[in-house]
Amino acid sequence: MSDTRTVRAARKAQVDSFSCVACGCCVPSCPRKAISIFKGMFATVDTELCVGCGKCAKACPAGFITVSEAAQ
């Protein structure tokens, strides 16, 4: 039998929430609608929806979004 306990890694976006100014530029860039602005304070990413395409990282004018491998 095959071992199903393999560790999967996937690319996910992550917002620097301390630096984010909640401008909202990244929100419409996401084809998965994974980004929302939390209480008008900073952007958050729904990692269940995020597929790591990186469009949001390009959309943030200040570079506050990074996309990297994250263990699931």
Report the distance separating Cα 65 and Cα 23, nearest Å. Answer: 13
70 binds ligand SF4 per the rule CB under 6 A? no
DSSP 25-66: TTGGG-TT--EEEETTTEEEE-TTT-----HHHHH-TT--EE
62 binds ligand SF4 (CB under 6 A): yes
The DSSP output letter for 12 is: E
Question: Which residues inside 1-60 make contact with ligand SF4, applying CB under 6 A?
Answer: 13, 15, 20-26, 29-30, 32, 34-35, 43, 45, 50-56, 59-60
Q: Which residues are near ligand SF4 by CB under 6 A?
A: 13, 15, 20-26, 29-30, 32, 34-35, 43, 45, 50-56, 59-60, 62, 64-65, 67
